[in-house]
Structure 1
Amino acid sequence: MSYKTIFIKRLLQLIGVCGALMATLAACKRDLGNYNYSAVNAITITTDTVNADRLMVINNDSLVVKQGDTLKVNVLLSQTKESGDLSFSWLVTQKNSSNGNPGLYVIGNTRQLTARVLLLPGLYNLVVKATDNTTGVSYYKIFSLNVSTSPWGNEGWLVLQQQANGSDLSVITTRDGATRGSIYNNVYFLANGHKLPFGTNKVNVLSYNSSVGSQKVSFFYPGGGLQVRSYDFSDSSTNDNWFVVNSAPNFQVNGVVSGGNYEYLINNNQLYNRVISSVTIKNPPVLFGAPYLGSWTLSPYVMLANSTAGYAYTLYDQTNKCFLLYSANANTLLPNIADVPNKHLAAFAGQASDLLPAASGFDMNNIGRNLEYAENVLPLPASNGCLYDCFFRNDGHDSTWLYQVPTLPTGYLNNNTSGRFYLNPSNVTGINTAQKFAVPTHVVTKDKFYYVTNDVVYTCTVQTGAASTSAAAGINFPAGTKIGVMKVFKSEYLSAPATESKVLVVTTDETASGGGNKVYFFSIDINGVLNPTPVQVYTGFDKIVDITFKKGLGQ
């Protein structure tokens, strides 16, 4: 075939393609719009919390139900294009990726869910799907569903008591006293058929990261500790199964980084860590490693900064009377330098005059006093560090100071030129013998704390200058009352309730006046002032040795 013939053939093919293209374009031009494009109906799903059982519907995203009970949930819809042709489906899925979905995972197909829950106790996702049948487009809302086995297995205050033949636990099923709760006594014995060891002195509640979807409840007693299931308090493990290498138990404090996975334990004034995550819990047991040792003897207080940057703990060395900053991520001090007492942080960056008795600065490397108590003044988790009230005394226990210490996640400049307050006993009655303190987080001025002397709870207002700081009696109990535990309500809920930090819980022994053992709930106003008339009073307890709040699982 000649080149001329090939050229003519290719030219005719090209002309044919161009002709087809022009015909297509012409057809498109003649189509002047026989199509009806319309916006999709976008549906927003929220929870009807007004017309709901508030013991089940905790908030817009969290539900609680006892195994075997009927769960009722009604949703509210917001549509960009109103449609009456909607269908619904309610599904239960696993919360933890290490578990499979329930066998029966579709539990409803109406807008209002009414379904008996027969799931095993635990934390699940409840998913509602709303479908616009006109368009076939579906929208979803996911709830955290906590299935418990008993009315005392969810939210409430755990009251640890000493009894003649051991110790046991009561649960008050209230959050903040606003709603009258029930008292369930001896719930540990009901679950296990025996008492807690005699001398059990502390109950701990740890709520792990939401991806883990679990809680830990543990008890400390002389020479040991034990852990129970959070939803029914059945025995789970004892301290001889907690460590890679067991050590002599003298447990002092147990907690978890707010919003994080690192769990810390101070035992014999030494720090231990373990990581609880959706990955590690697939291969139990998850053990505490070796202690992080150095020249320090740690005070039993762990001051947190935030949940992501290094998972940093600010600690206090009671031997050398100075602060340390530890990173759980790196398992080192920050900065990671040689272990030299009183030189673990940067040198003081202020002036020498800032450290004089009449001034208010402080050198974190050289506090020179004994830490008596520490509690956060800002809510946790904090995004860029926190603030703690730290109460110090001298060796003679005849002088007390408040240091407001900003805890940081990555390192200290050590340049605090303010924040140290001498608490003059002439104005702050009984402060040098006070053993119980509590600190609210909602007071904007951060100038209030509460302390106990004899049978009185005092409110202290902190101001610059020793003569300016003063205290006034906030709550007076009957003469001879022994005040046991005092705590500000700090729920650790992801979405803080309206009463967060605005309730003071106090336990008392009023047997001297015939009143028995009690738990009081007092309200705190926006300025930190206590209302001396209790919101609620619960009675009928044995000797109370500890109390702590347990939030609802997954909230």
Structure 2
Amino acid sequence: MKRILYIYIALAAVFIQSCKKDLGNYDYMDTEVVRIDTGGIGATYRILRLSHLQIEPEIQIPEGQDLQYQWLLYGKQTTNNAVPPAKEVSNQLNLDYIISEPVGEYIAELIVTNNTNGLKSNVLFNVSVTANMEFGMMILYQTAQGGDVDFIRTPALSADIATTTQTKGLYSLTMGKYLAGQAKFIWSARQAYQITNWITVGSDNSLGRFLGSDFTLIRDQEELFRNRELEINPQAYVFTIGSQQVMINGDKLLVATTGFFESDIKFGSPADGDYELAPYLSPKVSSGLGAVGYDTKHSRFIRYFISTNTVGDFSAPVEGQAFDLRNIGKDMLYMTSGASNYTYAFFKDKTGDARWLYGLNFSATDNGALAIGAYNMTSLPEISSAKFYQVSGFGGYAYYATADKIYNYAYQSTNTASLAFQIPEGEEITCMKYYRPTPNSMVADKEERVLYVATWNGTNGKVYELAINETSGVVNQTPLNVFEVDGKVADMSARAKGFG
């Protein structure tokens, strides 16, 4: 019994000793952990390519701590072997990053480092990058650094567009540099249920083909020409209704026939022949004609022969034709498409000050009856100062623009012109284009209801979105929108959605 009592006394002593305060000389510190509150932010961000990815997480910062932020973006791993590299996109707490990566699935990771104690915290966000190049106007402009591209979308261009947006710097964001040389042209080539769905951008010494859905690079000029020794000097480009990629390069005609694989659609050697082309093309050319240009050396229209890669004269005109395509004898000012799938060409007499509008049917076969009409514009107001032209696809009218005025020209009825729009003082027109997407699937009620006019004041560029009556050409005097552009606009082109 006494032995049991001694055991209890010993255990009690140990318990009391264990409860005594440790008086040793030790330093203790509570760990300060940074907490990232993602409540209400959402785990997945769906972002249009070349739009701003913006994430603003809440950070609970322990008092007196020095924090460092790092945002990483990397593609989701799709195979067991491929580990996508991480790209640092910001060192600020709140992320504001323009997504220039290709369409796909990504992870955005925020890493917060507590420099006071070296501890790290992190959080992951799913990012889905989608396409954004459906229905809109592409704006090619020149800056001091080089060429670049903006993309405009407004409710006037599609019933599916609810808000007005302007995505800036598509070229520089995609390529990491500006377009070299002097910006010349931009064109959207789209073919329903076919591989053709790309955007071609050219300057006087460079060329690039970009994916139509999101403007990612498909191939640059080194891969667009079969003849690598050819001097690159693009001047004009179209995708014709006959499914030909047609370009003027160094005053010569180059044609790339659409193939089954995009990689096969390259430009070969220039078409043989004695000619020098004006820098204008029409897309309304049948597959039978291949391509059409205007030979400034001999003042004539020439056509392309696919089988021999040559150019030559059209057939002799039948009786009653308005003019002979083989002998125009004038200087071309511009060429575009218009009503009835016709081509319309503006001319100036070689001597004197006479101006002309010629209508031609290049969507037909070469039967000697392609000259539709000739209209004398010489008596129109300020016609000798005209610099830019467009022809309606609906009615018998056209627009011509001087440095600061736009005139509505009724060529089929009265052969007169009236002032349609006055540009604000201090600005000069640099480009004028219809909203005319090809194909016009789902926007047939919108095409040619808007006219885009670009201006330059010596420092800044603007693009006016003007509502028009498609049958009369009357222009609403109050612009639907006015867009600021970071350069001088060289060209504009409508972007279609299409099928397939």
The alignment's TM-score, normalised by the length of structure 2, stands at: 0.67
Partner residue of 2:301 out of 323, 329, 332: 323
User: What SS does structure 2 have at the residue aligned with 1:419?
Assistant: strand
Partner of 1:157: 137
How far did 1:535 drift?
Answer: 2.2
Partner residue of 1:295 out of 260, 270, 274: 274
Show the 5 A alignment for 1:279-294: 279-281=260-262, 284-294=263-273
What is the RMSD computed on CA atoms of the aligned residues? 3.0
User: What SS does structure 1 have at the residue aligned with 2:172?
Assistant: helix
Residue 177 of structure 2 corresponds to residue 194 of structure 1: yes
Residue 430 of structure 2 corresponds to residue 484 of structure 1: yes
How far did 1:487 drift?
Answer: 0.6
Q: Identity of aligned pairs, percent?
A: 23
Partner of 2:389: 437
Partner of 1:228: 210
Residue 370 of structure 2 corresponds to residue 409 of structure 1: no
Show the 5 A alignment for 1:1-400: 121=103, 149-150=129-130, 152-174=132-154, 176=156, 180-207=163-190, 209-246=191-228, 247-258=230-241, 260-277=242-259, 279-281=260-262, 284-305=263-284, 310=288, 312-328=290-306, 331=309, 344-350=313-319, 361-378=322-339, 386-396=341-351, 398-400=353-355
Check the 8 A contact 2:244/2:290 in 1, yes or no: no
Q: C-alpha deviations, 1:196-233, integer Å up to 9, x for none?
A: 225333323222x3232442223222322223333333
Show the 5 A alignment for 1:470-509: 470-495=416-441, 496-509=443-456
Check the 8 A contact 2:397/2:412 in 1, yes or no: no
Structure 2: distance between partners of 1:349 and 1:553: 39
Residue 483 of structure 2 corresponds to residue 531 of structure 1: no
Q: C-alpha deviations, 1:520-550, integer Å up to 9, x for none?
A: 1212212222222222222354333322222
Structure 2: distance between partners of 1:369 and 1:300: 15
User: Residues 524 and 432 from structure 1, CA distance in 2 versus in 1: closer, same or farther, beyond 3 angstroms?
Assistant: same
Pick the structure with greater CA Rg.
2
AA matched with 2:266: L
User: What SS does structure 1 have at the residue aligned with 2:342?
Assistant: strand
Residue 428 of structure 2 corresponds to residue 450 of structure 1: no
Q: Which runs of 4 or more aligned residues in structure 1 lie more than 6 Å from their structure 2 counterparts after TM superposition?
A: none
Structure 2: distance between partners of 1:261 and 1:462: 30
User: Residues 441 and 201 from structure 1, CA distance in 2 versus in 1: closer, same or farther, beyond 3 angstroms?
Assistant: same
User: What SS does structure 1 have at the residue aligned with 2:433?
Assistant: strand
AA matched with 2:452: V
User: Residues 540 and 249 from structure 1, CA distance in 2 versus in 1: closer, same or farther, beyond 3 angstroms?
Assistant: closer
Structure 1: distance between partners of 2:270 and 2:393: 32
User: Residues 154 and 420 from structure 1, CA distance in 2 versus in 1: closer, same or farther, beyond 3 angstroms?
Assistant: closer
How far did 1:442 drift?
Answer: 1.3
User: What SS does structure 1 have at the residue aligned with 2:219?
Assistant: strand
Structure 1: distance between partners of 2:323 and 2:293: 16
Structure 2: distance between partners of 1:314 and 1:503: 28
User: What SS does structure 2 have at the residue aligned with 1:188?
Assistant: helix
Structure 2: distance between partners of 1:183 and 1:286: 31
Structure 2: distance between partners of 1:364 and 1:175: 42
AA matched with 2:330: R
AA matched with 1:310: G
Structure 1: distance between partners of 2:475 and 2:219: 40
- Which blocks of at least 5 consecutive residues in structure 1 are unaligned? 1-64, 68-119, 123-147, 334-338, 355-360, 380-385
Structure 1: distance between partners of 2:307 and 2:193: 18
Check the 8 A contact 1:152/1:171 in 2, yes or no: no
User: Residues 221 and 368 from structure 1, CA distance in 2 versus in 1: closer, same or farther, beyond 3 angstroms?
Assistant: same
Q: C-alpha deviations, 1:81-110, integer Å up to 9, x for none?
A: xxxxxxxxxxxxxxxxxxxxxxxxxxxxxx
How far did 1:374 drift?
Answer: 1.4
Residue 409 of structure 2 corresponds to residue 460 of structure 1: yes
User: Residues 238 and 305 from structure 1, CA distance in 2 versus in 1: closer, same or farther, beyond 3 angstroms?
Assistant: closer
Check the 8 A contact 1:304/1:314 in 2, yes or no: no
User: Residues 268 and 476 from structure 1, CA distance in 2 versus in 1: closer, same or farther, beyond 3 angstroms?
Assistant: same
How far did 1:291 drift?
Answer: 1.7
Check the 8 A contact 1:262/1:328 in 2, yes or no: no
Residue 376 of structure 2 corresponds to residue 422 of structure 1: yes
Partner of 1:37: none
Structure 2: distance between partners of 1:484 and 1:302: 19
User: Residues 493 and 204 from structure 1, CA distance in 2 versus in 1: closer, same or farther, beyond 3 angstroms?
Assistant: closer
Structure 1: distance between partners of 2:257 and 2:350: 37
Check the 8 A contact 2:343/2:362 in 1, yes or no: yes
User: Residues 456 and 332 from structure 1, CA distance in 2 versus in 1: closer, same or farther, beyond 3 angstroms?
Assistant: same
Check the 8 A contact 2:238/2:282 in 1, yes or no: no
How far did 1:324 drift?
Answer: 2.4
Matched pairs, number = 374
Check the 8 A contact 1:165/1:195 in 2, yes or no: yes
How far did 1:66 drift?
Answer: 5.7
- Which blocks of at least 5 consecutive residues in structure 2 are unaligned? 1-46, 50-101, 105-127
Structure 2: distance between partners of 1:154 and 1:304: 21
Partner residue of 2:464 out of 520, 532, 537: 520
Partner of 1:544: 489
